[in-house]
Structure 1
């Protein structure tokens, strides 16, 4: 497949790498002509929808053409957990909504006096009309709707379940008294124009009362039921976000999002019963652009603080805050164990959505919220019992092809054997078999952010400076990277600023400082996997294996396609003495085509690698046998194979003390030496490893050989 080439006149047509930068000038390619974008978020080419990843192929730092599907979390949740239809009890109408049923009277009735409750049944003292707010049976409204029961009372009136004689179906009549007739008409006008699966539908309007005639949704307010899994509840949050995105795109705000206004119901479909939700009660709806006054009707427990700017000039953030508080309440019983996959991310998500002190830090669009919520769902379903791993491109970060295996995915370098020393018993003093990636390498390998689609003004003008900062990071030049980041003038509170500050700190060799600022990125983007991967690398560099393990495990369990997470997890597991688990991680990582070669090498080495210190268990005989059996199937050259054979033989030597076989394995490295000095060092090491005369196999006497450099190799036995 041909690679995209840089078209800049001062470059010379360098190839574009996987992160969208030219290999020659390290700048993004010139932007392609804009493409028309349909409503579903895909680019159009030759009249057909094209996946979003093609649109972003040449995206420069700080610019994204299209946000990918933020609702993908719905596809990760099983749809066969439909609840039973609940039995709706008939509650008396609240006193504040008790009015004479005679349309010509409409005076308050059934009110309490002297602290006592009012009568729920009786006769209007003004006109004598009978009322019964306990059992409205027999009440017919507008000569068409036979009232069956009271189903609740809202901010502006009661709601009745009624039978529509004309349509022969059940409907809900939302009764509103005359003092809010204007509100009723406004709600009617808004609902008439809405068509969305997660929004209640209006069927009619009756001036008598007045009443809104709404579809009957036979459900109950959103809540956690016995047997509900966390991802099921979060999927309902995504559905409500779809409804809010639909509303906000039409310039409307609901202004009263709460569990009571989200009805969970059972919907029969061709595939069976489905668990669904609908947003109801649009009595507080307002126009985002036309209504300029403060919010009047809202529920305090689910609204931003009254001193928040959202109350004076509400934005979509007002509704998103309400949904955040709703999910916090609904999911409260499902996040008792912070070690459960996805629970920590969910806490961070809701902390951002409902932050009372920093309104500028909260989510600004339903799609931005849904994107992170879908990411949390992806983390949740990766655990048992679902165990569903999903690989998909990030909406905010480029790809990360570098595995950062720290040497684990390759054979020991020949230099390790050249520098090795053997004591009298044959034990080797040799360099560490692998290491954590260097901080500068980590900073260069972590992907470049693509953009923040919800705030393009933050990154658009800064794109050039950020690209230059990335170039400096690739050169391991922390000073220049910091200077260019300052020139970008990003807001201090924005996650992009923290991301680049973290990379600069890594390039400067300060992983502790990098972890501090990258943790803010993790808090801002809890559905993304790149920030916890970066934190895992920082923790490993700081020597905190437990924290590194937690981050690596979350990333690897969610998607092994981020190879750096798997290799990092294997390293910390082995250092913790859990060799079998480390091998299991490498073998699972080998199923990813991109990392198959390195992971298979790592699996062999993990079985036999010898770590310093006696506290860690040495390789077993089974480990050695399985490593040796896997060796012929590796895609490595003969020099690497010889090094792997020597490492396997050393692991066997620790059990059998067979110095002769170990000496022969080291001697076999000689033909692959690059210089005569290296060759002589390997021969000397092999000599020191030979068993002394009089022990073991004495029949094999000294012998001489000739190296490929023309000099005598000397005696290999003592």
Structure 2
């Protein structure tokens, strides 16, 4: 056993390439021409030093892999948001101007990986001839009996281990010699060039197909024809591969038989396409070999890989198949395309007889009791994504769990990613993602957040789960909770519901009208009842809405008194319970509901916006700023988040950052003018200028420049002009500018007025008289004229 290369560890590397002390993979690049043992025992044979069985391999194109099999049973103090790496630069100065059941450097030319959002390094196509092994051997440390899992073929008394023989424990025959030699021709068509790698079902060979333009193909045979489970797995792969046709799954070309040179027995071989690239596992091993041994793929790249393979898994699920053994070893990238290369563990959904193949550290915990399922397949994706994105002892210490955010900084930095992984790998399969499509949808939302955090550029996306925010709250003044509840997004109506057509017309108009229409609906469905709950909440009838929720969810696991018990199949009652709690004035209860929805839908913006509102209402400004910024940085269509973030920053005394946020409301937004007005008031209001309370002239001039650039009606422009000129007048009266008519802009003017006592008084008088002419009542007009007379400069008689 070799020593672990990590400084201060002192452990040894076990036969599978992992340290027996720190539990992490060896930082030295692994030899990709060998693999570990392949066990098919029922149950897995225990092996000292491992968790539940001997690790092994299932591979199509090679790579070191660890797999086990079990027999299926068939049962069933506030400083504002961080300005460090990965956050938006809010401190910079800016010049004025559907329901479920159910990167770093940016480039203008991206491929399809990662939903076209992230640039993934290309992997050049590998010349097949360069991949052939000169000396195909399986190291002794990787030789195990396929029947009992014990060591075979090991050196003794200075003599090398046998590559063929019988297991000393159970007497089962084993063989690690290649069955085909270079130059050998199969089926009069496939000329063998040599071995590529050794997988769980035997040697994998490169060959030329002379019948089809001398194309490169891969031949895969059996590890041991005497192993019934290995034979069954090979036959399963043959059967399933014939049915599979997907661009991200290796293609099957043919099935042939060839006589074994030693015994004359016919051996079955699968002929499949050659995928010339690199496995994701090899990419990670290279990174760790070049570094300190704990490096991982950039998070955006890891997510891009997962997003590329999820449609392939969804395809398999759609045709009634389970992949069962997803891991980085089984994914190869060529150029910008990914392929699943190993279907040796594939089985039919509902198959309770076949041996189950999987890999320690990736396999779902319920496999040994209720067997594989769509949920267990998605579990392996979650585990593989974690392995790709950060280094941790996934086979031992964290075999069935994930590191905490205090242990793994990546999970602390990206909360939505942490929540995504926790749902994907929940020990309870009922609480995981219910389909590959749903998982990919939420992961895409997480990717948008990650990319926005890395470079500060928003990555908006249309939600299939929520409507846009119904209106912007907090643009003119601090919002009250019922108003905010009426502005938050709501769940989309299920288009497949029998009452969907009726709801398209019955959910418009005033709340009272909607309530009456919904109570008289021609058919009462879950959608109708949910829309009734929504209408009751909008009408302020939160208690009645809650009673309706009780009746709606009487047969589900949802408890309106405990929103943490959210049903992943339908989280919408929990969302409406949160809205009802806001109307009732209970932001803490509302937050509990919104947190539960966030756990289920980590890629959605709506729960984070709602949590930010609740945090602000309960006196947690740092948390409120975090969630407001998270939403606004990712998607600029949620303008309420910008006003909320600016509001919290102003309350904390960080005026410049608040103004910078308001600057980012795009000109295309209907709330752009409101944001600019808020920025003007933030720059001129004494309450927003720290302990001294007096805004600097630079801030006042910035507000004046912004005001001059806005298109406003006469009354609004006059009111804002009064605010700006009054701030400058107060600054000058307090000794600003040393009593002289100077200005940092060199003009000595502000909104066309001289920056002197007389000039500012004349400006204020003019705007007060403008407002008086536009007053709605005589009383208001008289008050404004009085102000104009009071502020006008003294004149000599």
Q: Which has the higher contact order (CA 8 A, sep 6+)?
A: 2
After TM superposition, the structure 1 = structure 2 runs for residues 283-294 of structure 1, keeping only pairs within 5 Å, are 283-289=344-350, 291-293=351-353
SS in 2 for 1:395: coil
Q: Structure 1 residues 165 and 84, CA, compared in 2 at 3 Å: closer, same or farther?
A: closer
- Contact 1:481/1:504, CA 8 A, preserved across alignment: yes
Q: Structure 1 residues 300 and 339, CA, compared in 2 at 3 Å: closer, same or farther?
A: closer
Q: Identify the residue that residue 487 of structure 2 maps to in structure 1.
A: 445
1:380-411 deviation digits (Å, cap 9, x = unpaired): 222344x553333210001224121341xxxx
1:493-532 deviation digits (Å, cap 9, x = unpaired): 2222321111111111111221122111111111111111
After TM superposition, the structure 1 = structure 2 runs for residues 131-210 of structure 1, keeping only pairs within 5 Å, are 133=177, 138=182, 140=184, 142=186, 144-154=190-200, 156-164=201-209, 166-167=211-212, 168-176=214-222, 177-178=224-225, 179=228, 180-208=230-258, 209-210=267-268
- Contact 2:113/2:305, CA 8 A, preserved across alignment: no
SS in 1 for 2:434: coil
CA–CA distance in structure 2, aligned partners of residues 612 and 462 of structure 1: 48
User: Residue 266 of structure 1: which of 323, 326, 334 is its match?
Assistant: 334
CA–CA distance in structure 1, aligned partners of residues 720 and 123 of structure 2: 55
1:640-689 deviation digits (Å, cap 9, x = unpaired): 222211221232133112584686355654444444444455566667x6
Q: Across the two proteins, how many residue pairs are aligned to each other?
A: 576
* 1:78 is aligned to 2:119: yes
Q: Identify the residue that residue 319 of structure 1 maps to in structure 2.
A: 377
CA–CA distance in structure 1, aligned partners of residues 165 and 354 of structure 2: 40
The structural deviation recorded for 1:700 is 6.4
CA–CA distance in structure 2, aligned partners of residues 544 and 620 of structure 1: 29
User: Residue 348 of structure 1: which of 398, 410, 419 is its match?
Assistant: 419
The structural deviation recorded for 1:119 is 3.3
* 1:482 is aligned to 2:550: no
- Contact 1:295/1:312, CA 8 A, preserved across alignment: no
Q: Identify the residue that residue 644 of structure 1 maps to in structure 2.
A: 720
Q: Identify the residue that residue 699 of structure 1 maps to in structure 2.
A: 795
User: Residue 360 of structure 1: which of 427, 430, 436 is its match?
Assistant: 430
* 1:222 is aligned to 2:250: no
- Contact 2:376/2:429, CA 8 A, preserved across alignment: no
Q: Structure 1 residues 282 and 131, CA, compared in 2 at 3 Å: closer, same or farther?
A: closer
Q: Structure 1 residues 452 and 660, CA, compared in 2 at 3 Å: closer, same or farther?
A: same
CA–CA distance in structure 2, aligned partners of residues 120 and 634 of structure 1: 85
The structural deviation recorded for 1:240 is 0.9
1:322-372 deviation digits (Å, cap 9, x = unpaired): 11110011111599544987x22111111100011x321100100000000
The structural deviation recorded for 1:113 is 8.3
After TM superposition, the structure 1 = structure 2 runs for residues 300-339 of structure 1, keeping only pairs within 5 Å, are 300-306=360-366, 311-312=369-370, 314-333=372-391, 337-338=409-410
1:23-58 deviation digits (Å, cap 9, x = unpaired): xxxxxxxxxxxxxxxxxxxxxxxxxxxxxxxxxxxx
User: Residue 239 of structure 1: which of 308, 311, 314 is its match?
Assistant: 308
Q: Structure 1 residues 98 and 220, CA, compared in 2 at 3 Å: closer, same or farther?
A: farther
- Contact 2:137/2:176, CA 8 A, preserved across alignment: no
User: Residue 450 of structure 2: which of 380, 401, 409 is its match?
Assistant: 380
Q: Identify the residue that residue 627 of structure 2 maps to in structure 1.
A: 551
Q: Identify the residue that residue 262 of structure 2 maps to in structure 1.
A: none
1:276-298 deviation digits (Å, cap 9, x = unpaired): 32112212211115x24486222
1:576-609 deviation digits (Å, cap 9, x = unpaired): 3333332232222133333233233333333323
The structural deviation recorded for 1:210 is 2.1
1:221-265 deviation digits (Å, cap 9, x = unpaired): 3244649532222111011101011111111111111222222x2
- Contact 1:109/1:124, CA 8 A, preserved across alignment: no
Q: Structure 1 residues 77 and 480, CA, compared in 2 at 3 Å: closer, same or farther?
A: same
CA–CA distance in structure 2, aligned partners of residues 507 and 378 of structure 1: 31
Q: Structure 1 residues 150 and 512, CA, compared in 2 at 3 Å: closer, same or farther?
A: same
The structural deviation recorded for 1:571 is 1.8
- Contact 2:297/2:390, CA 8 A, preserved across alignment: no
* 1:370 is aligned to 2:440: yes
The structural deviation recorded for 1:574 is 2.5
Q: Structure 1 residues 135 and 64, CA, compared in 2 at 3 Å: closer, same or farther?
A: closer
| Greater Cα shift, 654-663 or 559-568 | 654-663
- Superposition RMSD on alpha carbons, in Å? 4.0
The structural deviation recorded for 1:449 is 0.2
Q: Identify the residue that residue 23 of structure 1 maps to in structure 2.
A: none
CA–CA distance in structure 2, aligned partners of residues 316 and 593 of structure 1: 42
The structural deviation recorded for 1:568 is 1.4
User: Residue 607 of structure 2: which of 531, 537, 549 is its match?
Assistant: 531
After TM superposition, the structure 1 = structure 2 runs for residues 375-414 of structure 1, keeping only pairs within 5 Å, are 375-385=445-455, 387-407=456-476
The structural deviation recorded for 1:446 is 0.9
SS in 2 for 1:597: helix
SS in 1 for 2:194: strand
Q: Structure 1 residues 233 and 122, CA, compared in 2 at 3 Å: closer, same or farther?
A: closer
User: Residue 652 of structure 2: which of 576, 584, 591 is its match?
Assistant: 576
CA–CA distance in structure 1, aligned partners of residues 686 and 730 of structure 2: 9
CA–CA distance in structure 2, aligned partners of residues 680 and 117 of structure 1: 111
CA–CA distance in structure 2, aligned partners of residues 117 and 247 of structure 1: 48
* 1:281 is aligned to 2:342: yes
1:555-585 deviation digits (Å, cap 9, x = unpaired): 1111111111122122222333333332232
CA–CA distance in structure 1, aligned partners of residues 644 and 534 of structure 2: 24
The structural deviation recorded for 1:123 is 9.5
CA–CA distance in structure 2, aligned partners of residues 553 and 567 of structure 1: 10
CA–CA distance in structure 1, aligned partners of residues 323 and 441 of structure 2: 21
SS in 2 for 1:611: helix
CA–CA distance in structure 2, aligned partners of residues 592 and 444 of structure 1: 24
Q: Structure 1 residues 81 and 388, CA, compared in 2 at 3 Å: closer, same or farther?
A: farther
The structural deviation recorded for 1:82 is 3.2
CA–CA distance in structure 2, aligned partners of residues 651 and 510 of structure 1: 39
User: Residue 92 of structure 1: which of 128, 131, 138 is its match?
Assistant: 138
CA–CA distance in structure 1, aligned partners of residues 656 and 668 of structure 2: 20
Alignment gaps of 5+ in structure 2: 1-97, 103-111, 168-173, 259-266, 288-295, 393-404, 504-523, 559-565, 734-756
Q: Identify the residue that residue 529 of structure 2 maps to in structure 1.
A: 465
Q: Structure 1 residues 501 and 447, CA, compared in 2 at 3 Å: closer, same or farther?
A: same
CA–CA distance in structure 2, aligned partners of residues 115 and 486 of structure 1: 75
Q: Identify the residue that residue 251 of structure 1 maps to in structure 2.
A: 320
Q: Structure 1 residues 149 and 124, CA, compared in 2 at 3 Å: closer, same or farther?
A: farther
Q: Structure 1 residues 72 and 638, CA, compared in 2 at 3 Å: closer, same or farther?
A: farther
- Contact 2:242/2:252, CA 8 A, preserved across alignment: yes
